[in-house]
Structure 1
Amino acid sequence: MDVTTIFINGNIVTMKDEIQAEALAVSNDKIVATGSNYEIKSMANTLTQVIDLKEKTLLPGFIDTHMHIVGYGFSFEAIDLLGLPSLESLIDKCKKYIEENDIAEGVWILGRGFDQNVFEDVNGFPTSKDLNKISENHPILLLRTCGHIGIANDLALNLAEVDENTFVRGGSFDKYEDGKPNGVIKEASLEWFKIKMSQSRTVDDLKRAIMAGGNDLSRYGITSVHTEDSYDLGYAGDLSELYEAYKQLIFEGNLKQRVYQKISLPRMSDVDDFLKRFLHTGLGNDFFRIGPVKLWADGTLGGRTAWLLEDYDDEPGQKGIAVYEDDEMTDIIKKCQDNNLQMCIHSIGDAALEQILNAYENASSGKDMKAFRHRIVHCQIGHYDQYQRIADMGININIQPMHTRTDYPLIEHRLGSERSSKCHAWNTIQEYGVLVTGSSDVPCTNCDNAASVFAGISEIVNRDYWLKDEEVSVYDALKMYTVNAAYSAFEEDVKGTIENGKFADFVILSENPMSIKKENIKDIEVEMTILGGKVVYRK
């Protein structure tokens, strides 16, 4: 056995029963030994690369279990609307972008990240009339920070052939008083609109976005992603361009993360089409595997499209948007289970969560469904009896800790104190026995450094500002991005811990997160990221 690389003089946190080591050995892309400096040095030969950790901490590479790497990559090319305080500032920034970049008439203008809840000069969403002030000669689509709501100008609406009669189930085109569309596009209607957009994405475009997103994620020690790229592209048959982009990047050696691809199949016809192509959960190789089927049960809290059992406190009569009829969701889940497909369903509101749990139960007809390792992504608003049902069914929860920070200023206003006291209940959910994984949901996160794992972990372990009882230990928070994340993708034999035979995917840190004050965790820096035994990021 040729030992290609050894790591010595380190603080190696294996995430296996809190076992630690000071050195490890790698052969090509796999771990072959952990132990003392003496033990590991004795395995080296004259060709072995030696990396001196200089007392730094080494952990298994982080796994982000819910994000959109294609959308994240393209977000670097879109107008950054994050943190803008007013509609006026949004209009000014978009105008300036067009002028400074001398963008030809007819070219699509894309922006992302605005939050109407913080605008000082308007109450509510921008409209097509507002975007017409930016330009009437460029089609414009601006996405809210959540990615579930977009605003289009009149030219964009016309190009997509949207009028007062356009209807997409599970979404909405908001209207002016005269019945004409006002440019506000929500949920499933936005996905339909993306497909209708005249701007097509080539394989080279997709490769560029994946590389841009992947390079940035490497800075945070992320070596695997569970990404939902079809959400950003609109599901269109076999997604052949997306698969080709990943295939080329793997061949070229330019893919910086291992990919578990969530596939958006919102309707039964999409599931049937997917199955005709002999695709299934787990199909792939060491770098790209097909993951779960993704559905959405509702929208977002910030956009008041999260589906609630009771009215919004700040908008009586409004309960949000339900994407599915009960029977339709049940039928899709049953079809997927009959074909051994893992499921992952978006749920923000408690009504959405109730529908999902009922659908899982009805689709399983009393059979044990734990083997599927189904997921609910977000699970931000719920009740204790629902959390118990999640545990009983063996469903995994993908959480986004940075959403806790961004939801906090508005959640009690939206829901009232009683309902909000049970939200983002990460410790309670774990105590019920639910496996919880961590993720960023980039680019659908309204904060700086949204992809930073340690920014997320800091939110999990420091809840002084809201519901302190929901704090989680640092070790359990790290498990969300390693051990638990690997299990959720059926990859516990190859990822998640530092053990012989597993992939040599590591992150090297400036500090040991379990040895410093919790409030300093957010300041931990990634010194190096290693994928398959090769350095893909160095500070």
Structure 2
Amino acid sequence: MNPIKLSVPLFIYLALLVNACQVQEVSSRVVIQNVQGYTFYNDELKEFSAITFEDGKVVDVYSDTTFVNAGAYTLIDGGGKVMLPGLIDGHGHVMGLGFQQINANLAGTQSLDKALQQVEEYATQYPNLNWIQGRGWNHTHWDINRFPTAQELDQVVKERPVWLSRIDGHAGWANSRAMELAGITSKTEDPEGGKIIRNEEGEPTGVFVDAAMQLIASEIPEPSDRQRELALLKALQQMRSHGLTGVHDAGVSVEAWKMYKNFADEDSLTTRIYGMIAGAGQTFDSLSQNGPVESYQNDMLALRSVKLYADGALGSRGAAMIKPYSDDPDNRGLLFSSEQEMTQKILKTASAGYQTNVHAIGDRANRVVLDAFANVKDSLGNQSLRHRIEHAQIVAPEDIPRFKPLNILASMQPTHATSDLNMAEDRIGPERMEGGYAWQTFLDQGTVVVSGSDFPVEHVNPFYGLYSAVSRQTQQGNPEGGWYPEERMHREQALRSFTLSAAYAAHQEEMLGSLEPGKWADFILVDRDLFEVPVQQIWQTKVLETWVAGEKVYSATD
């Protein structure tokens, strides 16, 4: 413990410390001193070495270990550890993360053979499952240069149906039994907004893209309440252990919202959830009956936004492009809604007072969504709802400036760039990369950039995203100097995008995102200094403790 900066005999100092410890049970005020802290304070980055909080909210932070003693308090020695505001993931899928933990997890598999081996092992481990489900495969990381097939899955699981979502959630891989149960034949037509991958004879190969995924998924029984609860418990454990005190959940169902409320009522949530209602259809009609939920159970929950989709993903060539794909000249991707249809959806949700956040990855999808937002603004005026484009991954350079006058936030995922750098240029060519993953371009024009991971598409660890944001490199340090390094964020910008900007993107900047007086005491202690370590070390940061509303919810030593 650092000494108090007063010239007092040691026995007096010890007596004061003992006295402070004796009142722990009756005092709700806590002081953590001897930390190396960073927070945004009056919009500027501030360093501090002590923090005081009471009843779950910050009283203040201090530049040294002296502070005003306003009565009894509990004194905690921070041990010189680094303290940061709790990190907020601006775009994740909470239940998807949880189910990834209990289904077959193919994330990180480096070959088709390894993926098949893991499916076989999972099926053997759970012989009573009627359906084998999983997620995480990414054929662009394998050496086959094509989609996998049902016949290959049949080699390891033939009698039971198998359904495996691609890492980005925009394609699925089925075995023959699953296609048989779904009635899939060569005569099955591609649904609007979807594509069935076929061989030269027109036979379905086993991979279904975007809207076509529902042809198989609709046959899978709904998970039980117990399975949902287990998935949520596992997701919460993952999030708090990686320092996430908040997450924007991109697509909340009626069942999930009910469960989130039950967990909040029982004080079982350990990460705050800002929910986006899944779509503008029946789920929205059900969950919006009483209007937006701005806060529930001390800001542990909110439901005041909606998640829409404009297109698919780049890896599966479902992202809607203005011009054909460079590596697939007959394909421009999948546009899910016309400008008119998207305008009507946003008008419906925005008129009800909901922030509307639209998934758009390709440049054509981004243009259609910007046009729709412009139409809505013409109809409804400036509602200050802070609408967002989720991903804004490939945007035509001439469309990037449109974000500013339309007051559209760019909700982006830094690890998407470092995961996609192996295939993005192959998909769209170098010319269109000028508007690709353009974080610094957005920041330079004054657009708010909120960062996330899109977990379980990417790893839940936000320090992976912080590293990608400032390096534009893989964790192995490739490419040297960074991939399109002019679009890197500075360290302060990256931290802001995972804290204060993320809170702003949820209309929560007055209560979250920084350690300022009156805000919730959400913070983490980590093992290294984000602003001092070599860039290559950022992704290796370990979370030692996670605190939400002044309560420790995770300790690495437990």
TM over 0.5: yes
Higher deviation after alignment, 518-527 or 377-386: 518-527
Is structure 2 residue 422 aligned with structure 1 residue 413?
A: no
Question: Could you report, residue by residue, the CA deviation over 1:455-488 in whole angstroms, capped at 9, with x for unpaired residues?
Answer: 2111111132211111211111100011100001
Question: Could you report, residue by residue, the CA deviation over 1:386-419 in whole angstroms, capped at 9, with x for unpaired residues?
Answer: 1100111111111111111111111111111111
Partner residue, 1:98: 123
Partner residue, 1:301: 314
Kindly provide the amino acid, as one letter, of the partner of residue 413 in structure 2: Q
The structure whose Rg is larger is: 2
Which one of the candidate residues 82, 89, 107 is aligned to 1:57? 82
Partner residue, 2:257: 243
Give distance in 2, aligned partners of 1:370 and 1:429: 22
Which one of the candidate residues 134, 145, 148 is aligned to 1:111? 134
Question: Could you report, residue by residue, the CA deviation over 1:100-130 in whole angstroms, capped at 9, with x for unpaired residues?
Answer: x1513x611112111112322x332122222
Partner residue, 2:12: none
Is structure 2 residue 245 aligned with structure 1 residue 223?
A: yes
Which one of the candidate residues 483, 489, 514 is aligned to 1:472? 489
Give distance in 2, aligned partners of 1:510 and 1:402: 22
Deviation at 1:283, TM superposition (A): 5.6
The TM-score with structure 2 as length reference comes to 0.88
Is structure 2 residue 340 aligned with structure 1 residue 327?
A: yes
Give distance in 1, aligned partners of 2:33 and 2:365: 50
Question: Could you report, residue by residue, the CA deviation over 1:405-450 in whole angstroms, capped at 9, with x for unpaired residues?
Answer: 11111111111111123311111111111100111111112xxxx2
Deviation at 1:222, TM superposition (A): 0.6
Higher deviation after alignment, 408-417 or 478-487: 408-417
Identical amino acids, percent of aligned pairs:
29
Deviation at 1:162, TM superposition (A): 4.2
Partner residue, 1:440: 453
Give distance in 2, aligned partners of 1:90 and 1:33: 51
Partner residue, 2:173: 151
Q: Please, which runs of 5 or more residues in structure 2 have no aligned partner?
A: 1-25, 473-480
Query: Secondary structure of 2:404's partner?
Result: helix
CA contact (8 A) 2:291 2:352 kept: no
What's the C-alpha RMSD, in Å, of the aligned pairs? 2.2
Deviation at 1:143, TM superposition (A): 1.2
Which one of the candidate residues 305, 317, 325 is aligned to 2:330? 317
Partner residue, 1:123: 145
Kindly provide the amino acid, as one letter, of the partner of residue 222 in structure 1: L
Kindly provide the amino acid, as one letter, of the partner of residue 184 in structure 1: V
Partner residue, 1:510: 527
Give distance in 1, aligned partners of 2:251 and 2:107: 21
Partner residue, 1:375: 388
Q: 1:424/1:281 Cα in 2 relative to 1: closer, same or farther (>3 Å)?
A: farther
Is structure 2 residue 279 aligned with structure 1 residue 252?
A: no
Is structure 2 residue 515 aligned with structure 1 residue 534?
A: no
Deviation at 1:7, TM superposition (A): 0.8
Kindly provide the amino acid, as one letter, of the partner of residue 11 in structure 1: Q
Q: Please, which runs of 5 or more residues in structure 1 have no aligned partner?
A: none
Give distance in 2, aligned partners of 1:93 and 1:533: 41
Give distance in 2, aligned partners of 1:38 and 1:61: 22
CA contact (8 A) 1:6 1:41 kept: no
CA contact (8 A) 1:427 1:471 kept: yes
Kindly provide the amino acid, as one letter, of the partner of residue 51 in structure 2: L
Is structure 2 residue 96 aligned with structure 1 residue 83?
A: no
Give distance in 2, aligned partners of 1:369 and 1:191: 36
Aligned ranges 1:386-465 → 2 under 5 Å: 386-445=399-458, 450-463=459-472, 464-465=481-482
Query: Secondary structure of 1:111's partner?
Result: strand
Partner residue, 2:23: none
Kindly provide the amino acid, as one letter, of the partner of residue 159 in structure 1: L
CA contact (8 A) 2:91 2:250 kept: yes
CA contact (8 A) 1:33 1:40 kept: no
4+ residue segments displaced more than 6 Å: none
Partner residue, 1:186: 209
Partner residue, 2:504: 487
CA contact (8 A) 1:381 1:424 kept: yes
Which one of the candidate residues 245, 252, 265 is aligned to 2:279? 265
Deviation at 1:192, TM superposition (A): 6.0
Which one of the candidate residues 22, 29, 47 is aligned to 2:56? 29
CA contact (8 A) 1:281 1:342 kept: no
CA contact (8 A) 2:89 2:498 kept: yes
Higher deviation after alignment, 62-71 or 524-533: 524-533
Q: 1:272/1:162 Cα in 2 relative to 1: closer, same or farther (>3 Å)?
A: farther
Give distance in 2, aligned partners of 1:179 and 1:441: 34
Question: Could you report, residue by residue, the CA deviation over 1:298-342 in whole angstroms, capped at 9, with x for unpaired residues?
Answer: 111111111111111111121111111221111111111211111
Partner residue, 1:42: 69
Give distance in 2, aligned partners of 1:281 and 1:398: 21
Deviation at 1:72, TM superposition (A): 0.6
CA contact (8 A) 2:251 2:306 kept: no
Q: 1:283/1:495 Cα in 2 relative to 1: closer, same or farther (>3 Å)?
A: closer
Deviation at 1:515, TM superposition (A): 2.5
Query: Secondary structure of 2:40's partner?
Result: coil
Partner residue, 1:66: 91
Partner residue, 2:476: none
Deviation at 1:273, TM superposition (A): 4.6
Deviation at 1:280, TM superposition (A): 2.4
Q: 1:375/1:90 Cα in 2 relative to 1: closer, same or farther (>3 Å)?
A: same
Question: Could you report, residue by residue, the CA deviation over 1:31-66 in whole angstroms, capped at 9, with x for unpaired residues?
Answer: 123225654472352xx4322112222121110010
Q: 1:177/1:367 Cα in 2 relative to 1: closer, same or farther (>3 Å)?
A: same
Deviation at 1:529, TM superposition (A): 0.6
Kindly provide the amino acid, as one letter, of the partner of residue 455 in structure 1: Y
Give distance in 2, aligned partners of 1:144 and 1:87: 13
Give distance in 2, aligned partners of 1:74 and 1:422: 34
Is structure 2 residue 197 aligned with structure 1 residue 174?
A: yes
Query: Secondary structure of 2:207's partner?
Result: strand
Give distance in 2, aligned partners of 1:421 and 1:457: 22
CA contact (8 A) 1:398 1:436 kept: yes
Partner residue, 1:278: 290
CA contact (8 A) 2:397 2:434 kept: no
Partner residue, 1:361: 374
CA contact (8 A) 1:62 1:222 kept: yes
Query: Secondary structure of 2:145's partner?
Result: coil
Query: Secondary structure of 2:61's partner?
Result: strand
Aligned pair count reads 519
